[in-house]
Every structure is written in C-alpha cells, then in structure tokens.
Amino acid sequence: MYDPGLSRHEWESEMASLEDDIRDAPAEALSELDVLLRRMLAESGYDLTDTVAREGEEREVVADYLAAHEIMLAYESGSDELSPGDIAAAINAYRELFDYLVAERSSADADLADAGES
C-alpha cells in the first residue's frame, strides 16, 4: 500500500543527517548527497540513462544532477582542477534538486490523497 509522505519524510530525514557533513566537510559530503539524489530521482521516475529524457521535459532536472555528479566524480578521482567554487556549485545543485523533488513529491502525495477521498 502506498503511504503518502513516507518517501518525502525519509528523504528529509536523510538530508537533515547530512547537514553537519555539508557544513563541516562539503567536498567529502558530495558522495552521500549524490547517492541520496540519485535515489530520489529514481523514486520520482527520472531515468538518468535515457537519452530521450535528457532532451525532453526532464532535461533540466537530469542535466542539473549530471553536472553535480560530474563534480563529485572529479573530486573522488582526485582532480586538482576543482575549486571550492566547483564544490559549492555541486552542493547548491544537489540542494536545489532536493527542494524541487520534495515539492514535486508533496504535490503528488496531495493529488493521491485527494483522489483517495473521492
């Protein structure tokens, strides 16, 4: 049975648990943020491997994730071309995506709850 708000609550709890890491060691938090956002995107129906989605309506959401993901990969590979600004851009992109997906899930949950009451 679908439980409205459950995924959103789990996402918000997980993001809250990452906030100290993001503040204290932002570069090291990139990997955990990436895992969370990848899961959120998958649970929301976004296909990061579908080239059509990259060109369609979902293009901006997928492109934002992939740009942050590339920075995370560069950091993990030890790239010396990354600046603190790059890390901040990735953190900001992950946060914006998080906020967007939470709002999208809240809207979908409200629609399902309204449909269940009819």
Encode pLDDT of 55-65 as tens digits: 555 678 888 99
Q: Are 104 and 60 in contact (CB under 8 A)?
A: no
Percentage of residues in the chain with pLDDT exceeding 70?
79
Average pLDDT of the segment spanning 43-67: 75
Alpha carbons 116 and 110: distance in angstroms, whole number: 10
Q: Are 22 and 37 in contact (CB under 8 A)?
A: no
pLDDT in tens, 90-114: 999 999 999 999 998 777 655 555 5
| Phi, psi values for residue 78, rounded to 5° | 85, 20
